[in-house]
Amino acid sequence: MDSAQERAIIAIFSDAATFEMYENEAKEAGVDIFALKPLFPSNIIDTTNEVLGLKNSEEKEQEEEARFDGHHILLAEDVEINREIVLALLEPTRLTIDCAENGKEAVRMFGEAPDKYDMIFMDVQMPEMDGYEATRNIRGLDVSRAKEIPIVAMTANVFKEDVEKCLSVGMNDHIGKPINIDELILKLKKYILKIY
């Protein structure tokens, strides 16, 4: 690690206006990198790795393996910040992602273009129509792929009975919240690339 990497300082600002106000002062104080909130895990990891020079050939290979060029998924999640986190985490994978803000919208979007999607990540607790009912409705649609489209539940409820309930309504799998990027990638590889 060279001296520049050893002394790298990152400044985090709450908004662009604050950044503009203090940018020159921060530079004079020795700040090397600037970041704006909200901070997403992927941005923090990427910046830290860049500063420390931690990316090695193995990590680069793993990144290449986690690419899903040409694939399209549907993300059903009612909380905006949760959608943003998933989108940020999956940005390097080159997936195309459509978002539905509730179960009713997810059913409509899939029903209108069933061949468009390779997979659905389905939040369980949503307004208008929850993930359980949305999954039952999708499975009951008279359209291509309605029975076989992989649907993975996303929920903070991770007890055995919660997982069993997800499977009983027609979901294929389950991922716990807060979302772990490694687990997310494993599910994508399992259901889109059929690796696991």
For residue range 84-138, list pLDDT tens digits in order: 999 998 999 999 999 999 999 999 999 999 999 999 999 999 999 999 999 999 9
Q: Give the distance from CA 185 to its chain's centroid.
A: 9
Each residue's pLDDT tens digit, 172-186 = 999 988 888 899 999
Do residues 181 and 137 share a domain? Answer: yes
Domain boundary among 34, 55, 76: 55
Residues near 155 by Cβ (< 8 Å), separated by ≥ 6?
Answer: 123, 124, 125, 131, 162, 166, 174, 176, 177
Residues near 151 by Cβ (< 8 Å), separated by ≥ 6?
Answer: 119, 120, 122, 135, 138, 170, 171, 172
Q: What is the pLDDT of residue 56?
A: 46
- The answer to whether position 82 is within a domain reads yes
Do residues 81 and 160 share a domain? Answer: yes
The pLDDT of residue 1 is above 50 = no
Each residue's pLDDT tens digit, 40-81 = 666 666 666 666 665 544 444 444 557 899 999 999 999 999
Query: Which structural domain, as residue segments, surrounds residue 36?
Result: 3-55
Do residues 114 and 157 share a domain? Answer: yes
Please give the span between the terminal C-alpha atoms of the chain, in angstroms, as a whole number. 37
Number of domains in the chain: 2
- Say whether pTM exceeds 0.85: no
